[in-house]
Amino acid sequence: MGRNHRRDRDRRPSRSSPHRTPGAKILVACEGSKTERQYLEQFGVHFRNPRIKVRIHPDKGPPLSVVRFAAQEKRNAEEEARRRNDDYLRFDSVWCVFDIDDHQRLEEAKALARSQDVNLAICNPCFELWLLLHHEDFRKSEMREHVIRRLRNHVPGYNKKVDFDAYQDGYQAAVDRASKLDQLADQDNDPGRNPTTGVYKLTELIRLK
C-alpha cells in the first residue's frame, strides 16, 4: 500500500461523506439530577439514536444557569467544528430540561434561551410528571411530592432511578397526555402551568430523527 493511499485512508471524512451515521446530533443539558439523564440516554438507545448527548450541569442550580451551561456547550462544539473544519461536530439542536420548583429568574432563562437558539423542555412541577404520564392521565395541580407518590403506585420503590422498561409501553400515551395538557393550558391562556411538561417535544425529536 502506497504512502499517499495510507494518508487518504486516515484522513477524517467530511460531514457530506456517505459513510456518516445519519440523524440529528442533539445536546440535552439537565440540572444536577440523574433521573433525566437515565431516561433520555436509555430512550436514545431504545430508538437507536446514538447522536443524543446528555450533559449534566455540574452544580444544581436555577434554570438560568442551566441555559448558560447549554449555550456554552453549544459554543464549544461550534468552535471545535471550526477548528477541525468539520460541521459534523456541531449540534443540530440544543435543549435544556429542568423543573419549575420555586426557581427565580425563569423569564430571564427563557429570554436567554431564545437569544441562544436553545430549546426548553420545562417540567411543572417536576420531571416525574412526565414519567407518571406513561402510566395514567394526570391533570391536577400538585406539588412534586404528590406526583412522586402517584408514580410509586405504578413503579414501586421509585427513587430517582429509571429503568426504561417500566415506561416503554406507555410512551405514546405519555406523548398524547402531555400534548393534551399543553392544549388545555393554552386554551386557558396559562401556558406552562402546573401540570405541564415539554419533555415530549424533545423525545419526539429524538425518536423521529
Sign of CA dihedral 90, 93, 98, 100: positive
Q: What value does the mean pLDDT take over residues 5-34?
A: 58
Q: What is the pLDDT of residue 34?
A: 85
Q: What is the pLDDT of residue 44?
A: 93
Is 204 inside a domain boundary? yes
Is 139 inside a domain boundary? yes
> In the chain, how many domains are there?
1
Is 58 inside a domain boundary? yes
* pLDDT: which is higher, 204 or 100: 204
Is 33 inside a domain boundary? yes
Q: Could you give phi then psi for residue 124, rounded to 5 degrees?
A: -130, 105
Is 140 inside a domain boundary? yes
Alpha carbon 191 to its chain centroid, in Å, reads 19
Residue 20 clears pLDDT 80, i.e. is over it: no
Q: What is the pLDDT of residue 32?
A: 64
Exposed / middle / buried, residue 172 (Cβ in 10 Å: 0-12, 13-18, 19+): exposed
- Nearest 5°: CA angle at 197, between 193 and 202? 145
Residue 2 clears pLDDT 80, i.e. is over it: no
Is 34 inside a domain boundary? yes
Is 4 inside a domain boundary? no
Residue 38 clears pLDDT 90, i.e. is over it: yes
Residue 15 clears pLDDT 80, i.e. is over it: no
Q: What is the pLDDT of residue 57?
A: 85
Residue 3 clears pLDDT 50, i.e. is over it: no
What is the overall mean pLDDT for the chain? Answer: 88
Helix (H, G, I), strand (E, B) or coil at 148: helix
Instruction: Show the DSSP H helices in the chain as ranges.
Output: 3-10, 34-46, 63-84, 106-115, 127-132, 144-154, 171-187, 199-208
Q: Residue 135: CB partners within 8 Å, gap ≥ 6? A: 151, 154, 155, 170
- Tens digits of per-residue pLDDT, 129-156? 999 999 999 999 999 999 999 999 999 9
- Tens digits of per-residue pLDDT, 69-93? 999 999 999 999 999 999 999 999 9
Q: What is the pLDDT of residue 16?
A: 37
Q: What is the pLDDT of residue 23?
A: 63
User: Are the C-beta atoms of residues 200 and 124 closer than 8 Å to each other?
Assistant: no
- Tens digits of per-residue pLDDT, 168-204? 999 999 999 999 999 999 999 999 999 999 999 999 9
Is 112 inside a domain boundary? yes
- Domain containing 126 equals 24-208
